[in-house]
Amino acid sequence: MFKDYRVEIKWAIYYSIFLLIWFVTEKIFGLHDERIALQQNVSFFLLIPTVAFYVLEMVNKRKQFYSGRMTYFQGFISGIIYTVCIMILTPLVQFICYFIISPGYFKNLVDYSVSTGVYNNVQAAQQFTFGNFLFINEVFIMLTGVVFAAFIPLFLLSANNDNK
């Protein structure tokens, strides 16, 4: 069974490694401490490589499994499976990010949000937890993954493809 999904699993692993590298880069450039105010804006640009990973995954799936001709439905299903694989790996990736790479991240977010008046100490401590971030990330991955899975195959269809 997993053999049919090896492309999606492979690309989810690649994407997870990319996310770890991205997080390390943010940490190196101070986006988890002295430049934490910029982190949310910089993280927005993560959508660009995320779309690229979806495209690469689907192109790879089309080539390896569908002899270069993939229907819209095949691309959509592949994108959904890829999304599920990313969601499965996300807790491990997030754990590594927040407890190994940048263990002070949540404290810094609490301090920053209190210093800017966004939250008081209690509200900030309740807001910025691993559980909340994991939940938010999983929901975001699911929603964006469905959107990407729905739209990207439209751009990958071959002109000679029977895509009914």
Q: How many domains does the chain have?
A: 1
pLDDT tens-digit series, residues 110-134:
999 999 998 999 999 999 999 999 9
User: Which tokens hold the place of 67?
Assistant: 């002899």
Residue 73 forms part of a structural domain: yes
Reported pTM? 0.90
Rounded-to-integer distance, Cα 109 and Cα 38, Å: 12
Domain span including residue 65 = 2-156
User: Which tokens hold the place of 45?
Assistant: 């640009």
The total of other beta-carbon atoms located within 10 Å of residue 66's CB is 15
Q: Is the pLDDT of residue 163 over 50?
A: no
Residue 52 forms part of a structural domain: yes
Residue 7 forms part of a structural domain: yes
Q: Span 37-64, mean pLDDT?
A: 94
Residue 164 forms part of a structural domain: no
CA distances, 159 to each of 58, 59, 154 (Å): 16, 15, 11
Residue 111 forms part of a structural domain: yes
